[in-house]
Amino acid sequence: MRSKNFGRSRAAALDPTGLLSPRSQLTQLRYLPWALGLVWHVAPGWTFFTLLLLLIQGVLPVFTVLLTRELVDSLAVLVQSNGDPRLIAPAISAALLMGLVLLIGEGIGAVSNYVRVALAEQVQDRMSTLIHTQAIALDLQFYESPDYYDQLHRASIEAIDRPLALLENLGSLLQNTITLLAMAGVLVTFAWWMPIVLLVGTLPALWVALSTTWRFNRWRVERTVEQRRLAYYRRVMATDYAAAELRLFNLGEHFRNAYDQLRGKLRYERLQLSRDQTWKQLIAAVIGLSSLALGLGWLFWNAIQGRFSLGDLAMFYQAMNQGQRLMRTLLSSVGDIYRNLLFLEDLFTFLEFKPQVTDPLVPTEMPTGLKDAVRLENVTFGYPSSPRTALSGFSLTIPARKIVAIVGENGAGKSTLIKLLNRFYDPDQGTITWDGVDLRRLRLVDLRRRITVLFQQPVNYHETVADNIALGDLSTAPTRSQIEIAGAHSGVDAIAANLPEGYDTLLSKWFGQTGLSVGEWQRVALARAFVRQSDLIVLDEPTSAMDSWAEIAWMKRFRALVDGRTALIITHRFTTAMQADIIYVMAAGQIIESGTHAELLALNGKYALSWRAQMRETADANVV
C-alpha cells in the first residue's frame, strides 16, 4: 500500500538545508567511486588513455624547468667566451631539447582535446540514459510534485557532465601533484624552507576556492525554482504553448517584464557572488606574490654573493612561479572536486528515488480476457500532495462486454478512477479487482497491456498521422491496414483524405508545416486508443471537442467498435452518456444514481434535472 507520508518524506529529502548541512558536505565523498566507476565502465579505453596523457603532462614541466637552467647556463658561458665555437654545440643541444619538450607538450595537448571530446560524448550519453530511464520508471505522483521538477532540473541540466569532470579534476590533481613534488625537490636544492614558503603563499587560494564553491552551491539550490520559472517564461513567449493568447490578450509585455525582473534579480545575486569572489582572489594573489617576492629577494641576494649562477636564478624563478601556479591549480582542482560532488548529490538523489507502485514479488497470472467485471470495492484514495480525499468508501462495478458511462461535476473524482484502474496510484484502502484478482497482484505491464485509454488531454506527437496512431500499440507493431481501420473507426480517415500526404503527413508546426484543430487531434488520439486491441477501453471526454454532427456519427461507429469488449466512458455530455448500457452519476467521490438513460429519467433525480437543463441549452443554442 502506498505510504501516506511518501510525499512529505520526499519533500524532506529534497530540502535545500539538508543538502547544505555540514554532514551532507562530508558524505558526498561516497559518490566519488560511483562516478569514476561509471566513467570507466562506459569507456575504459578512452579513460585509460586520458589518465596516461595526464601523467605525461605532469612530468613534462619538470623537464622544462631543468632544461631552462641548462640552456641559460650554456648561453651565459657562450657569451662570456665571446662565442667560442666549441661551446655552441651544448647551447644548441639544450635549445633543441627544450624545443622537443615543448613540441611534445603541444602535441599531447591537441590529442588530449580529442580524447576528452570522445570520452565526454559517451559519458553524457550514458548519463542521459540513466536520467531518462529513471524518469520513465517513476510513478505519476512524482510528476505532480514541484520538488521532483526541482531535482530533475538540477540532475539533468547541471549534473549530467559531472562524472567526467570529476575524472578530469582527479587527473589534473594527480598531474599537478607529480609536477609540484618535482618542483618542490628543485626548490629544496636552494633552501629546505622554500617549499614551505610556496605552501603558505597558496593556502589562501584554497580557502577562497572552497568558501566560494559552498556559497555558490547554496545559491544554486535555493534558486532552483526561479531558474525553472525562467524556463517556463521562455516557453510561454517562444513556442506555440501560448502564442495565440499572448497576442489576443496582449500578454507578451507582461511575461517579458516578468522574465526580465526575475533574470535581473538572479543576475544581481550571481554578480554579487562573483564580486565577493574576485576580491578574495585578489587578496590571495597578493599573498602569493609576496611569498614569491620573498623567495626571489633571498635568491637574488645570494646570487650577488656568488652562491648561485644566472641559470640557477632562472631555474628558481621558473620552479617558484610554476610551483605557485601549480599549487593554485591543485587547490582549484580540490575546489572543483568539491563542487562537482555537490552537483552529483543532486544526480544521485534523483536516481535514488524509488517508485511506490511496483510489481508484486510473486505476481498472479493475468486472467485471459475480461469475463466477469472490474470492481472497485470500498476504495478510499487521496493524492499525496493534497489534504483532500478524492474518493472515500467508493464502490463501482464495470460489467464485462458492457458500455458504462460516468457523468458528474468537475472534481467529483471521475479522472481519478482512470489513474487507479491503470495503477498509476494504489488506493489507500479498499480493492480494485479484475475478474476477482486484485490489481496489486498483477504485473504492471500485463495490466496496462489490457487497457487502452483516451485521456482528457491527449498528447499531440510530432509524428505522421500513421505514427501517431501506431504509438498506441508499439509492442505488436500494428500494420498499415490496422492503423487505417482504427482511423476509420475514429473519423481520422476523413481528416487524412484532406492532408497533403494522407496518413504519411507529418503533424507538426515545429518540424513540418501541417497542424490540426483540437477536434481533429482528439480523433487522432481516439484512433491511437482504438488500435490497441485491449479488453477494457477507457475514454475520458471522448467527444468534448466534437461538434454535434461528428458526435452522432462517431457514436454510431463506437458501438460496433467495442462489440464484445468492455468500455468505460467519462463524459459531461448526456448525449454521449445516453448511449451506454449503464450510467453512473457521480458526486463528491460517490455514486449517487445508476441505471439506463430511461431509468434515470424516470427516477427524476440529479441526472434527469441535468439532462433537461442540457437539452434546454442545446435547444436555445439551435434557435439562436
The yes-or-no verdict on residue 524 having pLDDT over 70 is yes
The yes-or-no verdict on residue 621 having pLDDT over 70 is no
Q: Which residue, among 177, 75, 141, has the nearest Cα to 420 in the 3D structure?
A: 141
Give the confidence band of 546 by pLDDT, cuts at 50, 70, 90: low
Degrees to nearest 5, angle at CA 197 with 194 and 198 = 90
The yes-or-no verdict on residue 5 having pLDDT over 60 is no
Which string of b and e fits 116-127 if b means at least 16 CB within 10 Å? beebbebbeebb
362 class by beta-carbon count within 10 Å (0-12 exposed, 13-18 middle, 19+ buried): exposed
Kindly calculate the radius of gyration of the chain based on its CA atoms and give it in whole angstroms: 36
Phi, psi of 392 (to 5 degrees): -140, 115
> Could you give the dihedral angle defined by the CA atoms of residues 477, 480, 483 and 484, in that order, rounded to the nearest 10 degrees?
-170
Residue 617, pLDDT score? 64
d(CA 575, CA 552): 9
The yes-or-no verdict on residue 293 having pLDDT over 50 is yes
Q: Per-residue pLDDT averaged across 162-183, rounded?
A: 70
Is 469 within 8 Å of 483 (Cβ atoms)?
yes
Q: Per-residue pLDDT averaged across 211-225, rounded?
A: 78
The yes-or-no verdict on residue 4 having pLDDT over 60 is no
d(CA 512, CA 349): 39
How many C-beta atoms surround the C-beta of residue 133 within 10 A? 11
3-state secondary structure of 185: helix
d(CA 397, CA 434): 10
d(CA 198, CA 320): 7
| Phi-psi domain of 541 (left: phi exceeds 0; alpha: psi -120 through 50; beta: other) | left
Q: Using one digit for the tens of pLDDT, what is the confidence trace for 432-450?
A: 999 999 999 999 999 999 9
Give the confidence band of 158 by pLDDT, cuts at 50, 70, 90: low
Phi, psi of 377 (to 5 degrees): -125, 115
Is 376 within 8 Å of 424 (Cβ atoms)?
no
Domain ranges of the chain: 14-351, 370-450+536-624, 458-533
H-helix or E-strand containing 429? strand 429-434
3-state secondary structure of 240: coil
Give the confidence band of 614 by pLDDT, cuts at 50, 70, 90: confident
Least confident of 31-35, 87-91, 147-151, 614-618: 614-618
Q: What percent of the chain has pLDDT over 90?
A: 18
Answer whether CATH 3.40.50.300 is correct for domain 458-533.
yes
Q: Which residue, among 13, 230, 38, has the nearest Cα to 128 in the 3D structure?
A: 38
Give the confidence band of 187 by pLDDT, cuts at 50, 70, 90: confident
Is 437 within 8 Å of 367 (Cβ atoms)?
yes
Least confident of 9-13, 327-331, 344-348, 403-407: 9-13
End-to-end CA distance of the chain: 54
Q: Using one digit for the tens of pLDDT, what is the confidence trace for 81-98?
A: 776 777 778 778 878 888
Q: Per-residue pLDDT averaged across 193-197, rounded?
A: 72
Mean pLDDT of the chain, nearest integer? 79
H-helix or E-strand containing 432? strand 429-434
Give the residue with greater pLDDT, 142 vs 307. 142
Residue 45, pLDDT score? 84
3-state secondary structure of 295: helix
Least confident of 113-122, 321-330, 434-443: 321-330
Degrees to nearest 5, angle at CA 578 with 575 and 582 = 150
d(CA 315, CA 309): 10
Q: Per-residue pLDDT averaged across 286-302, rounded?
A: 73
Residue 404, pLDDT score? 94
Q: Estimate the crossing angle of helix 162-188 against helix 88-137, to 10 degrees.
A: 150
How many C-beta atoms surround the C-beta of residue 608 within 10 A? 16
Q: Using one digit for the tens of pLDDT, what is the confidence trace for 11-59?
A: 333 343 444 444 555 566 677 777 777 778 888 888 888 878 877 777 7
Is 295 within 8 Å of 194 (Cβ atoms)?
yes
Positive or negative: CA dihedral 363, 369, 371, 375:
positive
Domain 370-450+536-624 architecture: 3-Layer(aba) Sandwich (3.40)
Least confident of 44-58, 241-255, 303-317: 303-317
Q: Which residue, among 87, 91, 73, 315, has the nearest Cα to 194 in the 3D structure?
A: 315
Q: For the chain, what's the residue count?
A: 624
Q: Per-residue pLDDT averaged across 205-234, rounded?
A: 79
Residue 536 carries which DSSP code?
E
Q: Per-residue pLDDT averaged across 4-13, rounded?
A: 37
The yes-or-no verdict on residue 1 having pLDDT over 60 is no
Is 600 within 8 Å of 607 (Cβ atoms)?
yes
Residue 489, pLDDT score? 85
H-helix or E-strand containing 259? helix 252-304
Residue 367 carries which DSSP code?
P
Which string of b and e fits 564-592 if b means at least 16 CB within 10 Å? ebbbbbbbbbbbbbbbbebbbbbeebbbe
Is 375 within 8 Å of 553 (Cβ atoms)?
no
CATH level 3 topology of 14-351: ABC transporter transmembrane region fold (1.20.1560)
Residue 280, pLDDT score? 79
H-helix or E-strand containing 430? strand 429-434
Is 497 within 8 Å of 505 (Cβ atoms)?
no
Give the residue with greater pLDDT, 304 vs 349. 349
Residue 562, pLDDT score? 81
H-helix or E-strand containing 567? strand 566-570
Residues 6+ apart with CB under 8 A from 185: none
The residues facing 379 across adjacent strands are: 394
Q: Which residue, among 339, 223, 228, has the nearest Cα to 272 in the 3D structure?
A: 223
Is 546 within 8 Å of 474 (Cβ atoms)?
no
107 class by beta-carbon count within 10 Å (0-12 exposed, 13-18 middle, 19+ buried): exposed
Fold identical between 370-450+536-624 and 458-533?
A: yes
Is pTM, for the whole model, over 0.95?
A: no
